[in-house]
Structure 1
Amino acid sequence: MNSKYYLTEVDKHPASIYCYFNLKGESFVESHQHQKGQFLYAEGGVVHVKTNVGTHYLPARHYMWIPPRVEHAIYPSSSNVVMKNLYFPIAHQALSFYNKIGIYPINSLLIELLLFTKNWQGDVFQIQKNKYVIVDAFRALLQQTASQSLLLELPHPKDHRLNLVINYLSEHIYEEHLLPQLASKFSMTDKSLYRLFKKNLNMSFIKYYTQLRIFKSLELLMNPNYNISEVATRVGYHSLPTFSNTFHKIMGKRPSEYRKSKQIYFED
């Protein structure tokens, strides 16, 4: 996919609602923005959405709302990921839901409407009453049915030293890391590393590290070759109950419940 599609086709007709359903196997979508707001639904795996300030983790069977004029790049975690996109014109005075990034679990009503429209591609205009009334209702239902947005974002570090630490954590996610030992490895005191996380990322080391482990587990849980205990071990948890409880606190469901989202509704 090239940038021409995103920079010209979506916004070519400002008043239209634009439908685009991706097939499996797409590698990534380069950084871009739209004048329209974007509904992005994923299944079959995790999608990484990178903005100027951080990386958002869009889990399977969840959707992300991206407001107009927000620059972002899209990286599916594997070739098994399927993405469904709808682009809506959003008025400046629209409700706050449409003006902030959010990640939400999909509900059965939205799934049914997506399935009904899965073969629609391109612009839907108001004069196409049979189609437009459905996608316009979909836009309204997003705001009316949305639960609390899941906080599935990790900010980008601006400090070079912290970037090295975070890369190390990502590459050695299978190990359990404690702040004093980690700081020592990078020739810092634990207090200085703690302050670096707070000042640079506006979150504590433990919060960042915990979220990183759980976000990494989202991808592993889609792999049928690993049972849940093995997934826990691969993200550095020696206790399955601790992993399950931490996962539930962040995701609002147990790892076993999330694993059920491997089911694919939209086949190529």
Structure 2
Amino acid sequence: MIKLLIADDEHIVIESLKFIIEKSLDGVEIVATARSGREAIEKTLNLKPDVVLMDIHMPGINGMDAIRHIKSTHPDVLFIIITAYEYFQYAKDAVNLGVFEYLLKPVNRQKVIKTIQDAKEVIYNRRETIQREMILREKIDKIIPHMEGQFIYSQLLNSGIIKDINFYEEIFATKLEKGYVMMAIVKEIESLGKEENLKNSLLKQKFYNFFQLELKNLTRCLIGPPLLDRITAYIPIVEDMDDYEVRNQAIDYGKKIMMKINKLMKIDYTIGIGKSYDIQHFSQSVNEAYIATSLSEENDVIHFEDIHFSSNTTADYPAGKDKMLLHKILTGELKEVLEIFEEIFWWMSTYYKEDIDQIKSKLIELVILIQKTIPSSVEGNYKLEDGYLIQILKIKNIEELKISYLNYLKTIVVNLETSKEKEIKGLITKAIKYIDKNFNQNISLNDVAKEMNMSYHYFSKFFKDSTGENFVDYLTNLRIEKSKDILKDATVNVKEVCFEVGYSDPNYFSKIFKKITGMTPTEYRANGLSQEVM
């Protein structure tokens, strides 16, 4: 069925056309008639006919102008002009407007029937084309997620150059040669029964679905299906995009997802981000993203480059308690480290029935794993040497073996934290030196973060945790202190002082100065000079 509207100012023409159509054509419904151009526009907008039979000369807005107006909002409407005027200019305008047919009055019955049948066929063909496209689009939409999963899964299992990269780029309509991995891991939830297990599984699936939806809304990416406790996404980037810009943009994506998830559900998870690489190094970005998730706090986002010692840690964490032990060692949680080891040692003692040689063997494996995990940049006697392995072999008593190992773990954690504090102290010293050197320039938090090779998100938190105040407050206080010294020189006017400490607006400088000191720069100078005289 197609919908048709007749627009003509002559009543007899309208009735004649209605009679011809209703008696001679099936599948055509006359939805309305109009006696003017304005009425034709209004009814077309409201009723959305497929075909409009339009007279050219009508009171008010003429037929040509009405067609132009309707075309601007409903370009798919077919127009058949019926007119008594055979002017060349009208025919030319009709062609330019894409009019389907141009008929002259008095109308020929067979010509009207043939024209509307032709229009009907065009509309049906168009509908069939749209329907086929929709069906094809639906099929593609169902296939694409499977193709994404295949791409991600194949990369996780088979690192290296993708031979058919061009095929995937054509399928996904995006360049894939360079990008980074974002990974979300849900913390395993301990439950008591089947019903609780089902609830936890549904909650995890809801998390994965929401993560996928939000990331897709933020950027073009490929996302694999959830595997075990995690979901992995590959975000392609433009080849010439600055790495620092990519890093901060990636963290922004993660933070936005995190904010929405935290509002929607209560679940413990971490989001980790690897560095950007060429596609053949996909597995490296995967490993980095996994390390980031393992070392970040719950319900947080962290980039691999924002982790201390991250470039030296290993990605091959063992599953279960071993993995948890390594995580707690690197995060400096001594109490948890000792508690987890107690569980591991209890299991070993029970499983091996106090066979000390078997226990030693497993502990030595764990020692080697911990040694690989401890950053190679860390020096000192807590970076275990072969002598400790020999010491383990010499121990004859299980309890003595346990105590020795506990002491070993304590030494590692304490000294790692000491090393970390030294590194943090060195980093904040470097940041403060940079600010002190450039305080009179137009520097921002982003400038200092880039100098420190940290993302601005991480540096902002790092700076406040280390100094007790945020970057803007620190810079403002530093500038005011410097300005106090300069104001002691009476030959330098306040405007010059303003510029020397990094401000471009003297009025703003005076306002900030008074807010911090309780006096304007002029009052401060006068007060200082009067005290000197006294």
- Calculate the TM-score normalised by the size of structure 1: 0.39
Q: Which has the higher contact order (CA 8 A, sep 6+)?
A: 1
Q: Which has the larger share of helix?
A: 2
Question: Which structure has the greater CA radius of gyration?
Answer: 2
As a proportion of its length, which structure holds more strand? 1
